[in-house]
Structure 1
């Protein structure tokens, strides 16, 4: 490719490069090298293949583009600006500044056209797998022989760093198994990471690795060879039974006389002098910054073509709705995330006094609600289906030969499972849930954190929630995990106390649209409370509610979550009978829901004047001081567990009604 003004292609590619260079230089912060090296292949993808509508970034049938190498964000911002998205040159000039729409790493829904929040390497790779799954699943349910409302590709640019991360290995293995033929990744193979040459730590044969995963693999020897990149993408699009990866050789910091192919270009501005040298080397005016030639702007503007594609799709949808009104209504509801108005009427009922693990109650609730919610409620487990109770009766598995199956066997791939769920939710049309043991929330925590950051309504089913799981021992007994999840902003953690609360927890999760929900469920059976005596489980939606009370102001408040609420109720009976105390018992399944309530409600549940308070929860006590105060006591476990039957472990560590009574008397 010539590096001068003889070709509109070269001028456009250099425009992309120098928008990135100038933005990083102005910010005195950022990553110029990746955009400089990958500009050519990104240009080919965006101008010759990507079907999108800049005037409507949420068009359902657009191709998805994931910049998994999110540190190269200026590459994406330059492409969005030049192709006509609502991202101005002034926005580009405010790169990495307070309040700008061009943050250091791309953030979904902050910048028009950004499909997912990337930067933590490997996450975008997993998100793209989820997007491709969503496209294929929706197509299987919505498309007909004559109409294809859902028919698009998921593209991405991935880096050496992405492929080093374990999440990428998990996601690539899953994608190959599922045969996701509309997933195409361009691997920016530039041999440089922050520490220097990738030879320091990354010498595997990437092409052979992905071939072993079941991917279609191609190698492009020169990332600046536009026709070669174009031909490889076309070939990848023709392969419909496997995901594709194009190993494209590029030069980080391309054009920089002193920093090309060096780690120096990765994460620091080039410097004023080197910027001048680079512009001169590539035939770019050295006296201009943030320059977009008029013919480049006209050449790359995709607004008209995108709107034409959108108009054609709208016409197709009108004809589709006339020919298949029920399918069209279903598709619209799925894309809107519409839930039935009478969903609560279909909740299962549970016999008072019966003993049932909340994971089992969760499974029964899914069986009851799944057919009512419909096919856009999809989910699966990381090889723990029987333990997590996440399958819905009568539903088929999602496999390469059954793309309409709504139950996912993610295998032992917790991290990729959560990233793929984010991708499904970001795609639109699906409401995903995923399951594993609570102890393994550590394995997927970065993806869960991004669920919160991106405000994606993914439901996480975490079972085996405490030392109560018993014999598997301390390696499988979560201690700090509840509090660790509560520490993540915008994640709603719900630990129901019995079967009825579990059903309401699912209602809360399904109605949440602005972030993820973590359901924390027991392996062991817990008693189902008599709701005629203890009030409606709908109190769960307020985060905490009074489960048992005496007349007048209480002498002591007992509070807890999950399987420990039963001990609070039992302790209250003893304290009333033997000590003559007025006792209030509060079920506190969700701190987040409780903190969202008006102050007058919160103080009505936990009266400030009552300072004798005891909490009980089979996890670390850290954090409970906010509710028990300086004068109260938090009963919990601040050490690792042990291997023994669950009841014995609980008793040994003081998670009993007797211990609650002793704590109150000590106060």
Structure 2
């Protein structure tokens, strides 16, 4: 037979293999006939299941109306009716307080609000809870003695964690998220891809999203990972620039019932760049003008995440030199691609020089800046060093971006 060979994996088994299996298992019943003793056993199991189902439906029918409605809301995958108002109030507070924190901390702050308002969330991390900031006051640990809590310690099992998140999501009644480092998305990617293929609301929290993580060096510094994840169809990859955008990206992730989300978050502190409150979720547009030019724009700078701060610094330098410059924050490529042609054209604009700043590779950026656009980012792997050393070393600074623009404008 084909037992013990690769032929059992990739080719039809055929009559000879069926005969071999019959001999091995001493199976004498004709094809498609189930012996009576086996059939009786299965029917007994089915009867027990039917009774359990009837008992459960009876309990549900007798449940207090508010409890029943809450159960049905969760099972339908709908968010609490006050969810948008809760997020709007939280955003207003952030715009007033202007916290300077890492977006992984911004994510924890947003989750503290979300987990309080949305009781069906269930979090976790692949042995990096303290680094991913995925645990909040509401999410107590699930243990062998208590499965009624809301936080899973998955261990160093990124692929297993992502698969479990998918399973929890498919079960219904729960909104599952889990964290690891962005570089380790490579281990989780098969399950992340399946979440996209299945069209489900799995949420992946990926921190330490660039060379900004520092001394761990190039083994831990993601370079190609944003581009790789953006290549997955039906997958929203968010890279928020501050606490406000982080809250907005979480809101979109929870509202996206048919699309999984990845949040790429920083280790380093970032200032609040969205200082004026907007009731509208601007991140839902994928990209939007954050800072206008003083006059008709000659330069447009696109940036994501931690590099938005750098883009704003470059804008200030260029404006001082008489070059009207606007900055566009791009928290999500995928959502921007879904906008109307008019909105996309207006947001991209027709400035003479287009620049993209991101601490990753260029791949994917040409659809915004064109093949002749200036890219300020990574062109290879990172290095071990402090963030203060690495960003200047790789030329990802406001000064370097402004110099590249000046060179282009002056035709040098």
TM-score, with structure 1 as normaliser: 0.55
Among residues 546, 567, 570, which one is paired with 2:313 in the alignment? 570
Among residues 532, 544, 547, which one is paired with 2:287 in the alignment? 544
Partner SS state of residue 586, structure 1? strand
**CA drift at 1:387:** 1.3
Q: Give the corresponding residue for 1:134.
A: none
Q: Give the corresponding residue for 1:359.
A: 104
Contact 2:29 2:35 in 1 (8 A): no
Contact 2:199 2:259 in 1 (8 A): yes
**CA drift at 1:385:** 1.3
Among residues 368, 379, 386, which one is paired with 1:638 in the alignment? 379
**CA drift at 1:638:** 1.5
Give the Cα–Cα distance (whole angstroms) in 1 for the partners of residues 139 and 35 of structure 2: 54
Cα shift readout 1:277-305 (whole Å, capped 9, x = no counterpart): 779988899xxxxx867999xx79x99x9
**CA drift at 1:498:** 0.7
Cα shift readout 1:297-316 (whole Å, capped 9, x = no counterpart): xx79x99x979966873564
Give the Cα–Cα distance (whole angstroms) in 1 for the partners of residues 219 and 4 of structure 2: 45
**CA drift at 1:318:** 4.2
Give the Cα–Cα distance (whole angstroms) in 2 for the partners of residues 412 and 295 of structure 1: 45
Does structure 1 residue 392 correspond to structure 2 residue 136? yes
Q: Give the corresponding residue for 2:149.
A: 405
Relative to structure 1, the CA distance from residue 598 to residue 398 in structure 2 (aligned partners, 3 Å threshold; closer, same or farther) is: same
Relative to structure 1, the CA distance from residue 308 to residue 599 in structure 2 (aligned partners, 3 Å threshold; closer, same or farther) is: farther
Q: Give the corresponding residue for 1:592.
A: 334
Q: Give the corresponding residue for 2:189.
A: 445
Does structure 1 residue 581 correspond to structure 2 residue 323? yes
Which structure 1 segments of 5+ residues have no match? 1-257, 286-290
Alignment of 1:310-389 (within 5 A): 313=53, 316-347=56-87, 348=90, 349-350=93-94, 351=96, 353-374=98-119, 376-389=120-133
Relative to structure 1, the CA distance from residue 536 to residue 471 in structure 2 (aligned partners, 3 Å threshold; closer, same or farther) is: farther
Does structure 1 residue 623 correspond to structure 2 residue 331? no
**CA drift at 1:395:** 3.0
Partner SS state of residue 605, structure 1? helix
Cα shift readout 1:167-191 (whole Å, capped 9, x = no counterpart): xxxxxxxxxxxxxxxxxxxxxxxxx
Alignment of 1:463-478 (within 5 A): 463-478=207-222
Contact 2:301 2:311 in 1 (8 A): yes
Does structure 1 residue 557 correspond to structure 2 residue 300? yes
Q: Give the corresponding residue for 1:457.
A: 201
Among residues 648, 657, 660, which one is paired with 2:389 in the alignment? 648
Partner SS state of residue 460, structure 1? strand
Cα shift readout 1:66-88 (whole Å, capped 9, x = no counterpart): xxxxxxxxxxxxxxxxxxxxxxx
Cα shift readout 1:526-569 (whole Å, capped 9, x = no counterpart): 1102433x966721011001111136642121001001011111
Contact 1:396 1:407 in 2 (8 A): yes
Give the Cα–Cα distance (whole angstroms) in 1 for the partners of residues 285 and 313 of structure 2: 23
Among residues 161, 167, 181, which one is paired with 1:417 in the alignment? 161
Give the Cα–Cα distance (whole angstroms) in 2 for the partners of residues 410 and 319 of structure 1: 33
Q: Give the corresponding residue for 1:12.
A: none
Give the Cα–Cα distance (whole angstroms) in 2 for the partners of residues 280 and 472 of structure 1: 57
Q: Give the corresponding residue for 1:208.
A: none
Relative to structure 1, the CA distance from residue 262 to residue 596 in structure 2 (aligned partners, 3 Å threshold; closer, same or farther) is: same
Among residues 505, 508, 515, which one is paired with 2:259 in the alignment? 515
Relative to structure 1, the CA distance from residue 261 to residue 480 in structure 2 (aligned partners, 3 Å threshold; closer, same or farther) is: closer
Give the structure, 1 or 2, with the largest relative contact order (CA under 8 Å, sep 6 or more): 2
**CA drift at 1:368:** 0.9
Q: Give the corresponding residue for 1:206.
A: none
How many residues align? The count is 396
Relative to structure 1, the CA distance from residue 329 to residue 620 in structure 2 (aligned partners, 3 Å threshold; closer, same or farther) is: same
Contact 1:468 1:523 in 2 (8 A): yes
Larger Rg: 1
Contact 2:294 2:319 in 1 (8 A): no
Q: Give the corresponding residue for 1:169.
A: none
**For structure 1, which segment, 409-418 or 583-592, has the greater mean C-alpha deviation from structure 2 after superposition?**
409-418
Q: Give the corresponding residue for 1:6.
A: none
Give the Cα–Cα distance (whole angstroms) in 2 for the partners of residues 400 and 295 of structure 1: 39
TM-score, with structure 2 as normaliser: 0.87
**CA drift at 1:615:** 0.1
Relative to structure 1, the CA distance from residue 280 to residue 472 in structure 2 (aligned partners, 3 Å threshold; closer, same or farther) is: closer
**CA drift at 1:652:** 1.5
Give the Cα–Cα distance (whole angstroms) in 2 for the partners of residues 424 and 319 of structure 1: 23
Which structure 2 segments of 5+ residues have no match? none
Partner SS state of residue 266, structure 1? helix
